[in-house]
Structure 1
Amino acid sequence: MVSFKFFLALGLLGISFTSAHPTPGGSPGTYKCGEIDVFMTGLPPAHPLVKAQGFDPVFVNKSLTADAAEVVKAGYNLRVVLMGPEQPLSVLNDQLKGINWDATGVGYGVRGSSVQNLTVRLEDILQTYRDKAWRAPIVFNHSPTSSLWAIQRHFPLSSNCTNSPGKDLVSEI
């Protein structure tokens, strides 16, 4: 027979485990400026597969740059790792190390592609997130300028972070 002490200990363990990491979907005011670490990946704007899918690399570059700046300005810490399917997944693994990510994301150039090797790459990225950042929800933008919207849906900040923006967690590739 399982004892009451066992369930009490299990409950206390669960409370300490969940309180160590932000829980997505909190109400406004739940999270503070600079508290949420977000990891995003996708194709580099100049990658041949971007143009092959009908996207303008110059527009994509400007959009992604502005989008990342907006996320940081809004108060989130952000690392963006742009890489093509020809790069080994070890690059992604290495960039995920050292931070307990609160959210992860994959750009539409990978997610929405009908190119077979990008579909396989998406599966590989999602599995990597599952293995390396399993607590972090995967957020999806709907355009190259909507990452902030995707992040805010899961992690609303408690205040305007204009005077205390997030950090650009620059990738090292």
Structure 2
Amino acid sequence: MIGAVVVLVAAGVLLWQSRSGDNDAPVDEDLASRITATGVTPYDVRLGKADIDEVRVEAGSVLVDYDHTDEDRHAYTLVLSKAPSGDLCGAQGSGEQDDGSTCTSEDDRMSSTFEEMGSFSLRRDGTLLTLSNLVIESDPGIEERAFTALEAAEPVPADDLARH
């Protein structure tokens, strides 16, 4: 009985360390400042076993690149930007777009696909969270998992994203 408790405690410590491994990394103060200046709410969205690889700010958006430790999964990017009002598919609305992609939006959700790639967005508290560059062709359940991850994501301080 005591052995089982020790094993469970050890497993819990290892899991906690693996999820918080970068918390000891120094904060890139310049990056944290640029994240804050965008005015978007920072989120850390985890899809599967992916870990944050790189964080950058471009054109008023925060881009968080994730890599996968599981070789049969592809990397993806989380884009955090100011949420637009109205239809998330824009002026054209849902359906085929001028660039050949397909956009579908309903309420605060949007799916956009082009050939074998897809992006999934969720509007939350003034921020548009978009999981982009996902391979959808070989992973039919990716849309459901992406929206589940977006909905479960918690806001984080800018410093948390600026540690990577």
Going by fraction, where is strand more abundant, 1 or 2? 2
TM-score, length of structure 2 as denominator length? 0.27
TM-score, normalised to structure 1's length?
0.26
